[in-house]
Amino acid sequence: MTTIYTEKDADRSALSGTIAVVGYGSQGRSHARNLRDSGFDVVVGARAGGGAERRARSDGFRVVSPAEAAKEASLVALLTPDMAHREVYAKDIAPNLQPGDALLVAHGFSVHYGEIVPRRDIDVVLVAPKGPGDLVRREFEIGRGVPCLFAVQQDASGSARAKALAYASGIGGTLAGAIETTFPEETETDLFGEQAVLCGGVSELVNSGFEVLVEAGYKPEVAYFECLHELKLIVDLLYEGGIAKMHQFISETAKYGDFVSGPRVINAETRERMREVLKDIRTGKFAFDWIAENEAGKKNYDAMLAADLDLPIEKTGARLRQHMAWLQTKPESEAA
């Protein structure tokens, strides 16, 4: 059985000195504030004049350049977007770390696929909260936490694992439980979940259901409610208590339809397509395609994004959501 590590397993003294947070987006902002509130000395590394610098200063942090932050820190949390890691690490971080210092990421993509080739004399660790930054902060503020994964890729100091657990504790992860993994496992499962289920799979399923109903003559607004709006109700039940809680709170008719029709839509062929997705991830094909797309200016990416945003379900939803007052309040991470 997999061990779940909690507060008693974390020694915060293993993480001494300054922590530099480079990248002040959703995760970076939450990590920095949680670490500071946990008693760690935190400096934010950000480009002068940018939005990250303004937000960090507004939050009361000392802000210096990424290179200066790396120079004074014993651990650098690199929390910029994946595609920025190579440049930031090579230009700002690698030249300024001392032997025995640590590089931390929240997702293993850049290390696993060779965008970053860390110096052999530093620790390389991963701490990945299983939730968005806004949730990481909110749960911490009320004395709880978001579960996280942690891993060690390189242990130059002999204490890399202890540093990772201390960092997980500092952001609240060990309050909810931390699970040890590896860089390949975290990276590959995260990409697979996003592509086959959470983002790609769900959005395609929702849009396909919407299109089938509209093609059959049903109102787009009714199709939107049935295929997208009510998805939150089911996801919340699954999130809170798994499939068992979903079955507890849906009707017998819904359950019977689940049993007889679910396997007609998600079947052996679907699972084979999922295996193909996983193969592309494990061989690096997806990663190298994505890296090449970025280097080429993201023209295909931009075209696909524009097509997604132009779908009829998006236009229908935008009109309906104007009447849902409870959706007009932005989360803290967006409002800041």
Q: Is the domain of 171 the same as that of 226?
A: no
**221 phi and psi angles, rounded to 5 deg:** -65, -40
Q: Which domain holds residue 119?
A: 4-181
Burial level of 268, CB count in 10 A (0-12/13-18/19+)? exposed
Q: What is the pLDDT of residues 227-256, one digit of tens each?
A: 999 999 999 999 999 999 999 999 999 999
157 is in an annotated binding site: no
pLDDT range class, residue 328, cuts 50, 70, 90: confident
Residue among 103, 106, 101 nearest 81 (CA)? 106
Give the pLDDT of residue 234.
97
Query: Looking at the annotation, which residues are catalytic?
Result: 107
Give the pLDDT of residue 15.
95
In sequence order, the 6+-apart residues with CB closer than 8 A to the CB of 309 are none
Token pair for 311:
């779908």
133 is in an annotated binding site: yes
Token pair for 108:
């293993």
CATH of the domain at 144: 3.40.50.720
Q: Is the domain of 200 the same as that of 155?
A: no
Token pair for 71:
């120079």
Q: Is the domain of 50 the same as that of 175?
A: yes
In sequence order, the 6+-apart residues with CB closer than 8 A to the CB of 256 are none
Give the pLDDT of residue 334.
41
Any idea what DSSP says for residue 330?
P
Q: How many domains does the chain have?
A: 2
Q: Is the domain of 222 the same as that of 175?
A: no
The verdict on residue 336 lying in a domain is no
Q: Is the domain of 94 the same as that of 141?
A: yes
Domain boundary among 134, 158, 181: 181
328 is in an annotated binding site: no
Q: Is the domain of 201 the same as that of 163?
A: no
Residue among 311, 325, 308 nearest 224 (CA)? 311
Token pair for 62:
């000392």
Q: Is the domain of 151 the same as that of 280?
A: no
The reported pTM is: 0.93
Q: Is the domain of 11 the same as that of 127?
A: yes
Distance CA 45, CA 37 (A): 18
159 is in an annotated binding site: no
Give the pLDDT of residue 95.
97
Give the pLDDT of residue 329.
66
For CA atoms 99, 104, 105, 108, the dihedral sign is positive
Q: Is the domain of 176 the same as that of 293?
A: no
